[in-house]
Structure 1
């Protein structure tokens, strides 16, 4: 589960959150977030699920079981979703 700490840190930085801000969202201390990121501690199942919901990723992604991230397409038209899928396909062919 070494990936968990790295994935958590990367997601936190991606969303421009400090450890203190994430800790506040999870109702815990900054030191707990630091311990998660350095691999000194691991979250309970409930906290893991809460973290996944905050960052809109799967728990499998957080744990390093899968490398796939999801994108929230809500609010987009069908045409926009198709355009995004085509763009992703084109980028994968590179």
Structure 2
């Protein structure tokens, strides 16, 4: 079963690791800081499109954000959603 609290805690952790405010992340996603706060508190979930955007932005798998895995795998995509190069 989907646990919004795990999703919210991981989202908050990723945002803090980037030293971003909820307002800054909201601007990146085109939503309000209140919506970010609600997701982080576990009061609301998100859309598939926004989940995808979060995964690309933070370079983590959806499995990690959703609490299905504790492994923070780099998904290898740039912020446009294009596959990154493996050329190091």
Question: Do both proteins adopt the same fold according to a TM-score greater than 0.5, normalized to the shorter chain?
Answer: yes
Give the aligned CA root-mean-square deviation in angstroms. Answer: 1.6
Partner of 1:57: 60
Which protein has the larger Cα radius of gyration, Structure 1 or Structure 2? Answer: 1
Aligned pairs, how many? 76
Partner of 1:39: 42
Higher helix proportion: 1
Partner of 1:82: none
Using the size of structure 1 for normalisation, the TM-score is 0.75
Residue 25 (structure 1) aligned with residue 28 (structure 2): yes
Structure 2: tracts of 5 or more residues without a match: 77-84
Structure 1: tracts of 5 or more residues without a match: 77-94
Distance of 2:65 and 2:19 partners within structure 1 = 17
Partner of 2:80: none
Q: Which residue among 61, 64, 69 is the counterpart of 2:72?
A: 69
Distance of 1:75 and 1:21 partners within structure 2 = 31
Q: Matched residue of 1:42: which SS?
A: coil
What per-residue deviation string (whole Å, max 9, x for no partner) do you get for residues 8-58 of structure 1? 000000111110000000000000000000011100111111111100001
